[in-house]
Amino acid sequence: SSAYNTPKQPVVRFKRNKHHKGSIYCVAWSPCGQLLATGSNDKYVKVLPFNAETCNATGPDLEFSMHDGTIRDLAFMEGPESGGAILISAGAGDCNIYTTDCQRGQGLHALSGHTGHILALYTWSGWMIASGSQDKTVRFWDLRVPSCVRVVGTTFHGTG
């Protein structure tokens, strides 16, 4: 086999043992590239100030414990109004979506409506969120309101 066919092994640039007490299910970078967020089945969201160029932590973790189940997805809001430090997180347990201001270290909103575990999040335009759930719906949320503005998915058929 030639050297062209041999794949290079990745190099570990940053490793932290015991960052969470459980498995890490999701990771997100802030738009500015200075915050790394992780979600776990230990029910914690951790945010680490991080320098991607040097692959080093630049400060202590922020730890958020608003969830009562596994965090399955998280994402940072993008757009001028978010400042790049608004984190959206969701998962199992109470099936809520939580928004957190990582610069101030405080929770902003708890968005409820899903009846199953939330497995996917997407954000755009600095205030919109789409969430996918085991309840077979996609919900669209507007943080300016803040509430669900549309539900797509399961059609319920009543029995009179």
**CATH number of the domain that residue 130 is part of:** 2.130.10.10
Q: What DSSP string runs through 39-77?
A: EETTS-EEEEEEETTTTEE-SPPEEE---SS-EEEEEE-
User: How high does pLDDT run on average in the chain?
Assistant: 87
Range of the structural domain that residue 92 is part of:
24-152
Specify the residue for token string 């992780």: 38
Other CB atoms closer than 10 Å to residue 120's CB: what's the count? 14
14: in domain: no
Q: Specify whether the backbone of 72 is left (phi greater than 0), alpha (psi in -120 to 50) or beta.
A: alpha
Residue 116 in this model has a pLDDT that exceeds 60 = yes
159: in domain: no
Task: Report how many domains make up the chain.
Answer: 1
Q: How confident is the model at residue 57 (pLDDT cuts 50, 70, 90)?
A: confident
pLDDT digits (tens, 9 = 90+) for 15-35: 666 778 899 999 999 988 889
Other CB atoms closer than 10 Å to residue 75's CB: what's the count? 22
117: in domain: yes
Q: For residue 73, what are the contacts with CB-CB under 8 A and spacing of at least 6?
A: 25, 26, 39, 89, 90, 91, 118, 119, 120, 121
89: in domain: yes
Q: How confident is the model at residue 140 (pLDDT cuts 50, 70, 90)?
A: very high
Q: How confident is the model at residue 138 (pLDDT cuts 50, 70, 90)?
A: very high
160: in domain: no
How is residue 95 written in tokens? 């099936």
Residue 3 in this model has a pLDDT that exceeds 80 = no
